[in-house]
Structure 1
Amino acid sequence: MEDIKAYIESGILELYVLGDITHDEKLQVEAMAAKHPAIKSELDEIERSMEQYAEHNAVEPNEQLRGRILNSLLTNLGDDSTFNKAEDFRDNVATLPVAQPTNFYKYAFAACLALLIASGVALMNLYNKLQQSNTQLAVLQADKQHFANRVNFVENELGVLRDTTFRFLILKATPKAPAGASITIAWSKERHKVMVDMANVKMPVNDKEHQYQLWALVGGKPVDLGVFDANPDSTDMKEMKTIAAVKTDAFAVTLEPRGGSINPTMDQMMVLGKF
C-alpha cells in the first residue's frame, strides 16, 4: 500500500496525462493502472481535472477573426494559380528530426526540491545556533552586570571603611518584623552622611505599594532620611539624605506607602538601633 501511495505521489501520473514521459514509462503507467484499481482511479481523476481546467480556461476566438480566416482559406483554395504543382515542392521538403522525449523538467524539479529541503535544514540549524549564541550573550551580559555591581559595592564599601569618620550600626528587629530582620547603616556625623548597606538588608521584600523609610531620631523628633526597597539583588551602599545634626539618639526603619511619609507610622516600625 505504501508503494502504491508513493507511486501516485511521485508525479508520474500527471506527466503521463501531459504526455511528458518516455515510451517505457508510459507502458509502465498503463501496466500499473491495469494492475491496481487505486492507480487507475487516480489517473482518471487527473484526466477529469485536466479536462475541467481546459474547459474552464478555454478562450473563444473573436468572431471577426474567425470570419477573416475562413474567407482567406476559401479565396486561396478557389484560385489554383496560387498553388504550384506538388512535384515542384517535393525537393523543398525538409525532414525534421524526431523529437526525443526528455526528462529534463522532471529532474530539474526534483533537484530544485532537494535544494529547497537542504536550504531549509541549513536555515534551521543556523537559527538554532543563533538562538544559542543569544542565550550565551544574555548570560554573559548578566554576569558582567553582576560583576560590575559587585565591584561598585566593594569600592563604596572600601571607601566607607577607609573613612574613619564613619561608624557602623546594626538596626535590629522590633516585634513588628520577622525574627532575624536587621539593617546595617554607616553614619558619619562629620560628613553628615548616612549609608545603607543594601547587601546586608535582611528584611521582607516590600510590595509595589510600599517602601522602607529610614528615620533619625534627633532630640526625640524623627528626621526623614529617605526611602529604599528591600531588593535581594542589591549589592551597593545606598547613600541616604544628609543629616545636619551632630548628635543622633537612634535610627529606625518603618514600612510606609511608596514615596515615603512626612511622619513615621509607629505601628509599622520594623528595625531600631542606637549608638
Structure 2
Amino acid sequence: MKVEDLKAYIETGILELYVLGDVTPDEKRQVEEMASKHPEVKAELDEIELSMELYAKENAVEPSEDLRGRILGSLLTNFGDDRNFTAAPPHNESDTYEEEEEEQGNAIVAMPVRKESNFYKYAFAASLALLIASAVAIFNLNNKLQDSNSQLIALQQSKQQFANQVNLMDKELTVFRDTSYKLIRLKGTPKNPASAITLAFSPGKKKVVLDIADMKMAQNDKAHQYQLWALVGGKPVDLGVFDSASDTTASIKEMKSIASADAFAVTLEPRGGSVNPTLDQMVVIGKY
C-alpha cells in the first residue's frame, strides 16, 4: 500500500473508533490486520491509545473525603449485617406467612447501579487531541505564511532597489554617450583649493547633471546644503541643492533645467537653498 493510501486510511478516524471499541467485528479485524502489516498504522494506533490513557489519568476526578467515608461506612455496615445474619427457627405455617408478609413490607429493593460508560470520555479525549493538533498546525502554517510574506516584501524591495540602480546607471551611460553634453570641471576657490566637482551640460536638451560619485567636497552638516548656480549674463540662476557624496547613494544627480550659461558655481547655503548665493561661501567655480 502506498504512503498516500496509508495516510488516507489513518485520517478516516477508524483507529480512534477502534480504540474506543465502537467498531464492528469486521472493522476490528481489518484494523488489526492493517496494524500487523504496516508499522505506520501500528505506531499511530499506539499513539492514540497512549494519548487517551494520559488524558484519562490527568482528568480523573477524586471523590471527596466525605463521600469516601460514607461509601466505606456503608460497605462495612452491609458486611456486618451479612456476618450477623442467623437462620430463623422453624415456625408453623401461619407464623411463617406473617413473617414473610412483614419481611416483604420492610424489604428494601436495591436499584441496579448504572455502569458509567467511558465512551464519551474517550471521544472527548480524541476530539481534544485532534483540536490541539489542528491548532498547532494552524499556528505553524500562519508562521510560515508570515515568513513567506516577509521574504516576498524583502524580495520586492530588493528588486525595486536593483531596478532603480539599473535606471540610474542607464541614465549615467546615456549622459556619457550623448555628444550633446559637455563635461565641465568646477575647481576649488582659494578658500577651498582641494574641492572639485564635474558636471555635464547640454544646452540643446536644457539639462545639467552633476557627477556626485566623483565629487571632492567636504561633507555638509544637517543644517546646510550645497547649491548649484549658473551665471547667465553676470546674474546667478538657482539650479537646485544637493548633499555631499557621503550623504547619498546616487552617483549622478540631475539639476534644474537651463538653456544657456556662462559659468557654473557651487556655494554652501542653509538647508533648502537661498535666493541669492552667499559669495564668501563659494566652494567651486568653472566656466562653460
TM range (shorter): 0.5 to 0.7
Match of 1:137 in 2: 152
Name the amino acid aligned to 2:164.
Answer: N
Confirm whether residue 189 of structure 1 aligns to residue 214 of structure 2.
Answer: no
CA contact (8 A) 2:236 2:276 kept: yes
One-letter amino acid of the structure 2 residue matched with residue 10 of structure 1: E
3-state SS of the aligned residue for 2:61? helix
Q: Which amino acid aligns with 2:227?
A: Q
Q: CA deviation at 1:190?
A: 4.1
Pairing of 1:156-171 with structure 2 (within 5 A): 156-171=171-186
Matched-pair contact (CA < 8 Å) for 2:183–2:198 = yes
Deviation at 1:109, TM superposition (A): 3.2
- Equivalent residue letter for 2:270: P
Identical-residue share of aligned pairs (%): 58
For residues 113 and 177 of structure 1, the distance between their equivalents in structure 2, rounded to whole angstroms, comes to: 79
Other-structure match for 2:239: 225
- Counterpart for residue 61 of structure 1: none
Deviations 1:12-32 (A, max 9, x none): 126x56xxxxxxxx9xxx9xx
Instruction: Give the aligned length.
Output: 189
Aligned pairs (5 A) from 1:50-199: 99-172=114-187, 182-199=196-213
Please state whether the residue corresponding to 1:241 is helix, strand or coil.
coil
- The 1-side partners of 2:203 and 2:264 are apart by 13
- The Cα of 1:126 is off from its aligned counterpart by 1.8
CA distance in 2 between partners of 1:193 and 1:210 (Å): 25
Shift of 1:121: 2.2
What amino acid is the match of 1:193? K
The residue that corresponds to 1:244 in the other structure is 260
Letter in 1 for 2:281: Q
Q: Is the 8 A contact 1:149 1:236 kept in 2?
A: no
C-alpha deviations, 1:157-209, integer Å up to 9, x for none? 23322321211234355587796x65331012344421123444565665665
How far the C-alpha of 1:219 sits from its partner, in A, is: 4.9
In structure 2, the CA distance between the partners of 1:235 and 1:145, relative to structure 1 (3 Å rule), is farther
Among residues 56, 59, 67, which one is paired with 1:11 in the alignment? 59
TM-score using structure 2 length: 0.52
Q: CA-to-partner distance for each residue in 1:18-65, whole Å, 9 max, x for gaps?
A: xxxxxxxx9xxx9xxxxxxxxxxxxxxxxxxxxxxxxxxxxxxxxxxx
**Counterpart residue number, 1:234:** 250
Contact 1:171 1:251 in 2 (8 A): yes
Amino acid at match of 2:61: L
Task: Provide the C-alpha distance between the structure 2 equivalents of 1:177 and 1:12, rounded to a whole number of angstroms.
Answer: 89
How many angstroms does 1:153 deviate by? 1.8
Question: What is the alpha-carbon distance in structure 2 between the residues aligned to residue 251 and residue 186 of structure 1?
Answer: 11
- Note the aligned Cα RMSD (angstroms): 3.8
In structure 2, relative to structure 1, the CA distance for the partners of 1:190 and 1:257 (3 Å cut) is same
Contact 2:239 2:255 in 1 (8 A): no
What is the match of residue 255 of structure 1?
A: 268
